[in-house]
Amino acid sequence: MNAQELINIVPSLTPYKWYGKVTRVVGLTIESKGPQASIGDLCYIVVGKSQTKVKAEVVGFRDENVLLMPLNGTTDISPGSLVEATGKPLEIKVGAGLIGNVIDGCGELMSKAPLPKGLTSFPTDNAPPNPLSRPRIHEKMSLGVRAIDSLFTVGKGQRIGIFAGSGVGKSTLLSMLAKNSAADVNVIALIGERGREVKDFIERDLGEEGLRKSVLVVATSDQPALMRIKGAMTATAVAEYFRNQGLHVNLMMDSVTRFAMAQREIGLAIGEPPTSKGYTPSVFAMLPKLLERSGTDVKGSITAFYTVLVDGDDMNEPIADAVRGILDGHLVLDRKLANKGQFPAINVLRSVSRVMADIVDDVHKTSADQVRSYLSIYNDNEDLINIGAYKRGASKDIDEAILMYPKVINFLKQSTTEVTTIDQSVERLINEFAKGGRT
């Protein structure tokens, strides 16, 4: 830090430090008398004989007491523990040196090694870009997944939801996007994951190739709710930093549902009333604040993929419904397709990209519509076809759908090791389906 930077910092410094004392701990919530602090401020609670400092965040107030939520658990916190205010929210260190590393929700390396040198301080909670300053999406993003590139073409800066129940292939699809996409850097957030699955995802799904251009942010299910919230915020902040450098970033978050559950835990702990299926009002206020931070900016873009767990494959549960209304499209992974061995198990008829029509030409769009038409006609008559009740020649459209169905399924299937570009995918789509499948 040079002399001018030090001079610029001086006006923001204060000769005072504000302190308070813990009065009680109830569940996840710590109450303290003081210090003077604002919502979102980071505080340190001094615990034990070793005077260890536990990070906590101000989440509310009750009467004249400050409500704190710890980032590292409540162990060793006792009545009278000193609470020290920092006067600012959590900041992380970000830079190119983070690429290829795995960090936690507070921006520290999971390996416990010191952070690389040359990183810059960056706040985790930022406002979304001004809507009027957001450039329109006009450039296609090659993702390397044929079904998405051809039928749900994604633009740079688009935000897509991946909706699925458990065990339908969300993690595998994310790993394909990380390895095959044309983004400059990937930021992958694993929020509320089982601890065992983290290393599985890194070594089995992502591999060295994917990790080489990725930053992983991990907040496992055993960590406090606030740490899971910070994991999502930190991942988004890392993506924002790289976007500010003029890069095209892929942000992948698994999952938004666990982020919402963590916020519900916090809301209930501080006394919010449960509303829709037990979710508190703050959950539905936090979702747009998080999701709107990605997208285009005058400097770069964040193309974001957010997975949403749908209980019992119910697409109308509160979180799925709220997220679908905010994002620019959604991909629905179907358990029936996965059971048939079709991967990625994308249900073409229930999925949509809201910007595709603006970034593809008419031939591409017509070919994609033709594939949907084949699938729709076949699915509507599948029971009749399977039991032999349909007689060939009764309908020209059904006959053509039956003929083309195997070709459509073969087109949609893709192994995790198959690499394809958007140009190759679109060329194959047009060659096979542009003229009604007769080439």
Domains 17-89 and 363-433 share a fold: no
Question: 92-357 maps to which CATH number?
Answer: 3.40.50.12240
Q: Would you call 30 exposed, middle or buried from its count of C-beta atoms within 10 A (0-12, 13-18, 19+)? A: buried
54 close to 77: Cβ distance less than 8 angstroms: yes
SS (H, E, C) 25-58: EECCEEEEECCCCCCCCEEEEEECCCCEEEEEEE
All structural domains of the chain with their residue ranges: 17-89, 92-357, 363-433
Query: Cα separations (Å) of 377 from 385, 402, 403, 406, 409?
Result: 11, 9, 12, 14, 14
Coil vs helix vs strand at 392: coil
Local confidence pLDDT in tens for the 439 residues of the chain: 567 666 766 666 666 788 999 999 888 889 999 899 999 999 999 987 778 889 999 999 988 899 999 988 777 888 899 999 998 899 999 999 999 999 999 999 999 899 999 999 999 999 999 999 999 999 999 999 999 999 999 999 999 999 998 888 888 899 999 999 999 999 999 999 888 889 988 988 888 888 999 999 999 999 999 999 999 999 999 999 999 999 999 999 998 999 999 999 999 988 899 988 889 999 999 999 999 999 999 999 999 999 999 876 677 889 999 999 999 999 999 999 999 989 999 999 999 999 999 999 999 999 999 999 999 999 999 999 889 898 989 999 999 999 999 999 999 999 988 989 999 999 999 999 986 444 4
Query: Cα separations (Å) of 201 from 173, 218, 296?
Result: 11, 11, 28
- HSE-CB of 296 using CA atoms within 13 angstroms: 18
Question: Is domain 17-89 classified as CATH 2.40.10.170?
Answer: yes
Residue 220: both structure tokens together: 């496992």
Q: Where are the beta strands (DSSP E) in 112-229?
A: 120-123, 159-164, 185-193, 214-220
187 close to 159: Cβ distance less than 8 angstroms: no
CA distance 74 to 406: 57
Q: Which residues, 6+ apart, have CB-to-CB distance to 321 below 8 Å?
A: 315
Look at residues 311, 319, 215 and name the one whose alpha carbon lies nearest to residue 262: 319
288 close to 263: Cβ distance less than 8 angstroms: no
The amino acid occupying position 39 is: I
CA distance 271 to 287: 19
Range 363-433: architecture per CATH: Up-down Bundle (1.20)
- What would you report as the CA-atom Rg of the chain, rounded to the nearest whole angstrom? 25
